[in-house]
Amino acid sequence: MLRYTLRRLVSLIIALAVASVVIFVAVEIVPGDPAAYMLGINARPDTVAALQAELGLDLPVHERYLAWVGGLVQGDFGTSYTYRTPIADIIGERLWVSLPLALYALILSTLIAFPAGILAATRRGSVADMLVMGITQLGVAIPNFWFAMLMVLVFAINLRWFSAGGFAGWEHGIAPGLKSLTLPAIALALPQASILARVMRSALLDTLSEDFIRTARAKGLTRRQTLWRHALRNALIPVLTIIGLQFSFLLAGAIIIENVFFLPGLGRLVFQAISQRDLIVVESVVMLLVFAVIIVNFAVDLAYAAVDPRLRRS
Amino acid sequence: MIPHSPTKRSLIGALLLSGLALTAYAEDEVQQQTTVTPAPAPEVDPITVTVGLQLEPPHLDPTSAAAGAIDQVLYANVFEGLTRFGPDGSIRPALARSWTISEDGLSYTFTLAADVTFHDGTAMDANDVVFSLNRARAEDSVNAQKALFEDIASVWAMGETQVRVTLSKPNGNFLFNLAWGDAVIVAPESIENIKTNPVGTGPFMFSDWVQGDQIELVKYAEYWGAPAQLDIATFKFISDPTAAFAAMMAEDIDAFSGFPAPENLPQFEADPRFTVLVGSTEGETILSTNNKMPPFDNVKVREALAHAIDRQAIIDGAMFGYGTPIGTHFAPHNPDYVDLTANSTYDPELARTLLSEAGFPDGFTTTLKLPPPSYARRGGEIIAAQLRAVGIETEITNLEWAQWLEEVFRGKDYGLTIVSHTEPFDIGIYARPDYYFQYDNPVFQEKMATLNSEADPEARSALLAELQTIISEDYVNGYLFQLAALSVANVNLIGLWENAPTQATDLTSVYWDE
Is A178 found in the same domain as A102? yes
Cis (ω within 30 of 0) for the bond into B295?
yes
Ranges A276-280, B41-45, B195-199, B420-424: which has the least confidence = B41-45
Is A59 found in the same domain as A106? no
SS3 string, B202-223, reads: CCEEEEEEECCCEEEEEECCCC
| B208 found inside a domain | yes
Assess whether pLDDT exceeds 80 at residue B244.
Answer: yes
Distance from CA of B158 to the nearest CA of A (A): 30
Is A129 found in the same domain as A68? no
Q: Is A28 left (phi over 0), alpha (psi -120 to 50) or beta?
A: alpha
CATH value at residue B508: 3.40.190.10
Distance from CA of A258 to the nearest CA of B (A): 10
Is B478 found in the same domain as B371? yes
Is A162 found in the same domain as A46? no
What tens digit of pLDDT does each residue of B118-164 get?
999 999 999 999 999 999 999 888 898 898 999 999 999 999 999 99
Distance from CA of B1 to the nearest CA of A (A): 6
Distance from CA of A60 to the nearest CA of B (A): 19
Rounded to the nearest 10 degrees, the angle between the axes of helix A174-208 and helix A232-252 is 140
Q: What is the pLDDT of residue B43?
A: 57
Of A42, A83, A94, the CB nearest to B144: A42
Which residues in B lie closer than 8 A to residue A183 (C-beta atoms)?
Answer: none
How far apart CA B303 and CA A16 sit, in angstroms, is 57
How far apart CA B262 and CA B285 sit, in angstroms, is 16
Assess whether pLDDT exceeds 80 at residue B360.
Answer: yes
Give the residue with greater pLDDT, B9 vs B479.
Answer: B479
Is B315 found in the same domain as B234? no
Of B238, B247, B401, the CB nearest to A37: B401
List CB contacts of B178: < 8 A, sequence separation 6 or more.
B81, B82, B83, B96, B148
pLDDT interval class at B7 (50, 70, 90): very low
Is B107 found in the same domain as B61? yes
| A260 found inside a domain | yes
Judge: A260–B213 Cβ closer than 8 Å, yes or no.
no
The interface predicted TM-score of the complex, written ipTM, equals: 0.79
Range(s) of the domain holding residue B496:
204-279+485-512
Judge: A96–B58 Cβ closer than 8 Å, yes or no.
no
Is B188 found in the same domain as B214? no
DSSP character for B150?
A: T
Which residues in A lie closer than 8 A to residue B407 (C-beta atoms)?
Answer: 31
Is A118 found in the same domain as A54? no
| B453 found inside a domain | yes
Which residues in A lie closer than 8 A to residue B141 (C-beta atoms)?
Answer: 47, 50
| A308 found inside a domain | yes
Distance from CA of A215 to the nearest CA of B (A): 55
Nearest residue in chain B measured CA to CA from A262: B238
List CB contacts of A138: < 8 A, sequence separation 6 or more.
A194
Judge: A33–B406 Cβ closer than 8 Å, yes or no.
yes
| B45 found inside a domain | no
| A88 found inside a domain | no
Q: Measuring CA to CA, how many Å separate B8 from each of A106, B11, B48, B219, B505? A: 35, 5, 12, 10, 21
- Sequence-ordered strand ranges (E) for B290-363: 324-325
Is B153 found in the same domain as B208? no
Is A116 found in the same domain as A69? no
Q: What is the pLDDT of residue B42?
A: 54
Interface test with B, best of A163, A262, A272, A279 (most B CBs within 10 A): A262
Which residues in B lie closer than 8 A to residue A156 (C-beta atoms)?
Answer: 246, 249-250, 252
CATH value at residue B120: 3.90.76.10
Which one of B168, B193, B218 terminates a domain? B193
Which residues in A lie closer than 8 A to residue B405 (C-beta atoms)?
Answer: 32-33, 36-37, 41
Assess whether pLDDT exceeds 80 at residue B1.
Answer: no
Chain CA centroid to CA B48, Å:
24
Which one of A19, A38, A73 terminates a domain? A73
Is B216 found in the same domain as B352? no
Average pLDDT over residues B385-398: 95
| A48 found inside a domain | yes
For residue B233, list its beta bridge partners: B49, B217
| A86 found inside a domain | no
| A147 found inside a domain | yes
Judge: B141–A50 Cβ closer than 8 Å, yes or no.
yes
Is A151 found in the same domain as A213? yes
CATH value at residue B312: 3.10.105.10
Q: What is the pLDDT of residue A279?
A: 86
Distance from CA of A246 to the nearest CA of B (A): 25
CB B46 within 8 A of CB B232: yes
- Sequence-ordered strand ranges (E) for A8-155: none
Distance from CA of B146 to the nearest CA of A (A): 7
Judge: A82–B59 Cβ closer than 8 Å, yes or no.
yes
| B210 found inside a domain | yes
Is B414 found in the same domain as B383? yes
Is B450 found in the same domain as B371? yes
Judge: A261–B243 Cβ closer than 8 Å, yes or no.
yes
Q: What is the pLDDT of residue B311?
A: 94
Is A240 found in the same domain as A193? yes
Average pLDDT over residues B276-293: 94
Is A110 found in the same domain as A26? no
Is A267 found in the same domain as A204? yes
Which residues in A lie closer than 8 A to residue B409 (C-beta atoms)?
Answer: 36, 41
Tell how many helices (H) and how many strands (E) occur in chain A.
15, 0
pLDDT interval class at B410 (50, 70, 90): confident
CB B26 within 8 A of CB B36: no
Is A271 found in the same domain as A181? yes
Q: What is the pLDDT of residue A313?
A: 64
Judge: A47–B143 Cβ closer than 8 Å, yes or no.
yes
Is B358 found in the same domain as B223? no
pLDDT in tens, chain A (314 residues): 678 788 888 888 898 889 999 988 888 877 778 888 888 877 778 888 888 888 888 888 888 888 888 888 888 888 888 888 889 988 888 889 988 999 999 999 999 999 999 999 888 888 989 999 999 999 989 888 899 999 999 998 888 898 888 888 888 888 888 998 999 999 999 999 999 999 999 999 988 888 888 888 888 888 888 888 888 888 888 888 888 888 877 876 688 888 889 898 888 888 888 878 888 888 888 888 888 888 888 888 888 777 777 776 65
| B466 found inside a domain | yes
Which residues in B lie closer than 8 A to residue A84 (C-beta atoms)?
Answer: 59, 195-196
Range(s) of the domain holding residue A29:
2-73
| B507 found inside a domain | yes
Interface size between A and B, measured as CB pairs under 8 A? 162
| B307 found inside a domain | yes
Assess whether pLDDT exceeds 80 at residue B4.
Answer: no
Nearest residue in chain B measured CA to CA from A276: B402
Q: Which of helix, strand or coil describes residue A99?
A: helix
How far apart CA B27 and CA B31 sit, in angstroms, is 6
Which one of B162, B193, B224 terminates a domain? B193
Average pLDDT over residues B9-15: 38
| B49 found inside a domain | no
How far apart CA B270 and CA B236 sit, in angstroms, is 25
Assess whether pLDDT exceeds 60 at residue B9.
Answer: no
DSSP character for B38?
A: P
Assess whether pLDDT exceeds 60 at residue B18.
Answer: no
Can you give the length of chain A in residues? 314
Q: What is the pLDDT of residue A230?
A: 82
Q: Give the CA-trace dihedral at A169, A174, A179, A181, to 10 degrees.
A: 60
Which one of B159, B174, B193 terminates a domain? B193
Interface test with B, best of A37, A82, A85 (most B CBs within 10 A): A37
Judge: A262–B1 Cβ closer than 8 Å, yes or no.
no
Domain count, chain A: 2
Domain count, chain B: 3
Is B189 found in the same domain as B272? no
CATH value at residue A204: 1.10.3720.10
How far apart CA B514 and CA B116 sit, in angstroms, is 32
Candidates B192, B137, B145, B195; CA nearest to B167 is B137
Is B359 found in the same domain as B322? yes
CB B316 within 8 A of CB B329: no
| A165 found inside a domain | yes
What tens digit of pLDDT does each residue of B365-376 get?
999 999 988 899
Q: What is the pLDDT of residue A155?
A: 92
| A79 found inside a domain | no
Ranges A11-20, A166-175, B278-287, B290-299: which has the least confidence = A166-175
Average pLDDT over residues B379-385: 95
Which residues in A lie closer than 8 A to residue B254 (C-beta atoms)?
Answer: none
Can you give the length of chain B in residues? 514
Nearest residue in chain B measured CA to CA from A277: B402
What tens digit of pLDDT does each residue of A91-126 get?
888 889 988 999 999 999 999 999 999 999 888 888
Q: Sign of the C-alpha dihedral, residues B444, B449, B452, B458?
A: negative
Is A104 found in the same domain as A66? no
Judge: A44–B2 Cβ closer than 8 Å, yes or no.
no
Assess whether pLDDT exceeds 60 at residue B468.
Answer: yes
Is B235 found in the same domain as B372? no
